[in-house]
Amino acid sequence: MTEKNIIELKGVEKRYGSFLAASGIDLDLRQGEFFSLLGPSGCGKTTVLRMIAGFQEPTQGAILIDGQDMAGVPANNRPTNMVFQSYAIFPHLNVANNVAYGLRGRVPKAEIDARVTEALEMVELGGLHQRGANELSGGQRQRVALARALIMRPKVLLLDEPLSALDKKLREQMQFEMRNLQQSLGITFVMVTHDQYEAMTMSDRIGVMFDGRLEQVDTPATLYARPCNRAVASFIGEMNILPATVLEETGGMLSIEAAGFGRMRIERNVNATDRARDIIVGIRPEQLEIKADKPADYPATLKGKISNVAFYGENIHYHVAVENIDKPIAVSVPNYFHTVDFNRGDAVWLGLQVASVIDLGKERKSS
C-alpha cells in the first residue's frame, strides 16, 4: 500500500427522488489497499460502489480516480472493473472465452491468449481454459469472474458482495485467496459486504456505513478496539453496553461510575466525539472472566447467574443475568481445556480488566 490516493470522494451525495441513499461521503482510498464498505442491508454501500464504477452519477459532490474528476465519464472509460455478487459469467462459453471477453477486438489474439493464461494462473485455474462454464463449481466460477475482471488490468477492482453466493467453508477459503491475490498484484480492491468477519479478515481499512452515512473509517483493529459509537461497536463483533456517568476528565482519562461495576478510570476514546456527562461504555465479551468464586485479582467484579450457554468449539459463550442491568452480559471464554465449566442457572462472578472498558460517548437516539 502507498500513501498515494487512488480514489477520492468529496462531499458525495446520492438521492433517489426524495430518498437520500448516500450523503456527505468524504473518503480517500489509497493505492494498493484492500478497502471494504461494511454496513447493514440498505445502508447505501452498493450505491457508493456503483458511483465509483460509473453506473450511477452522484447528485452532489465529486469522485476523482487517480486525480481525474470522473463526472460524466462512463463506466467503460474508467480505470475500474467490477465483479458482481452473482458472478455473471456466460454459461455457453468455456473458461478461456469468458475470461477473454472484455479484450476481444481490443488487442491482438496472441496477446489475448497470453493474458488469459496469466489471469487464469493468478486465480489458480491454470489449464482449465477449455472447461465449460457450466462444468465449474461455485468457487471456480467466482474465480473465472475475478480473472475476467483482472485481465483488463484495472487500477481499481470493485467487488459487490463477491463471495455471498458461496457456502461458508468455500467463502473462508476464497477470502484468504483473494486477500493474497490482492497483495501480490498490488491493485486497489474496494469490496462491499454486510459480513463483518469478511470485512475484518480481508481489509486494510473498513468504512462502516449506516443510513447513507459513513460513520467511521479505520483499520479492523481500531474499529474493534475504538469504535466511535454504539452502532459501530455493535455491528463489529459483539459488545456489552452499559450506562455510565462521567465524574471527572483529566489528561485523556475519564473517571466514571459504570452500572454495576462502580467507579473506574478509563481512557477517553478519541473516536467517540459526542461528549456528555451521561455516556455509554462498551465491554467485549472476551474481556470478562467468569469465576465460581469472587475473584480477588480483578479490580471490578459483578455477581450474576448464567442464563444461557452456547458452545462454539473454540470458545464458549455465556449470558450472565445481573441484577439491575437490563440485558444479560455476554462473556466469551476460550475453550482451552475442552470443558464446559458452567451451566444455566449457576451463580457466578464476573471479573473485568478496567483497561479494556471502551468509552462510547453519548448515547445517540438514532443509533
Q: Is 44 a residue that touches ligand ATP (CB under 6 A)? A: yes
Instruction: Kindly give, in sequence order, each residue whose CB lies less than 8 Å from that of residue 109, ignoring residues fewer than 6 positions away.
Output: none
- The residue within the footprint of ligand ATP, chosen from 33, 45, 95, 301 (CB under 6 A), is 45
Nearest residue to 161 via CA among 76, 80, 49, 65: 49
C-alpha cell, 78: 474508467
Locus of grid cell 468455500: 170
CB of 203 to ligand ATP, least distance (A): 17
Q: Is 21 a residue that touches ligand ATP (CB under 6 A)? A: yes
Q: Are 154 and 31 in contact (CB under 8 A)?
A: no
In the complex with ligand ATP, the residue whose CB is nearer, 165 or 333, is: 165
Q: Are 33 and 84 in contact (CB under 8 A)?
A: no
Q: Is 42 a residue that touches ligand ATP (CB under 6 A)? A: yes
> What span, in angstroms and rounded, lies between the C-alpha atoms of 28 and 19?
25
> What span, in angstroms and rounded, lies between the C-alpha atoms of 87 and 162?
7
Compute the residue count for the chain.
Answer: 367
Q: Is 351 a residue that touches ligand ATP (CB under 6 A)? A: no
> What span, in angstroms and rounded, lies between the C-alpha atoms of 237 and 199?
11
CB of 17 to ligand ATP, least distance (A): 7
- The one-letter amino acid code at 346 reads D
- The residue within the footprint of ligand ATP, chosen from 36, 46, 94, 271 (CB under 6 A), is 46
Nearest residue to 313 via CA among 344, 288, 338: 338
Beta 358-359 vs 5-16: how paired, if at all? unpaired
Choose the stretch contacting ligand ATP; rule: CB under 6 A; options: 40-48, 94-102, 108-116, 341-349: 40-48
Choose the stretch contacting ligand ATP; rule: CB under 6 A; options: 37-45, 86-94, 120-128, 195-203: 37-45
Of residues 187 through 226, those in contact with ligand ATP by CB under 6 A are 194
Q: Is 41 a residue that touches ligand ATP (CB under 6 A)? A: yes
In the complex with ligand ATP, the residue whose CB is nearer, 21 or 149, is: 21
CB of 39 to ligand ATP, least distance (A): 6
> What span, in angstroms and rounded, lies between the C-alpha atoms of 359 and 44?
27
Choose the stretch contacting ligand ATP; rule: CB under 6 A; options: 43-51, 250-258, 325-333, 357-365: 43-51
Q: Is 16 a residue that touches ligand ATP (CB under 6 A)? A: yes
Q: Is 132 a residue that touches ligand ATP (CB under 6 A)? A: no
C-alpha cell, 231: 452502532
Using CB under 6 A as the binding criterion, the count of chain residues that bind ligand ATP stands at: 12
Q: Is 18 a residue that touches ligand ATP (CB under 6 A)? A: no
Question: Which positions touch ligand ATP (CB under 6 A)?
Answer: 16, 19, 21, 39, 41-47, 194
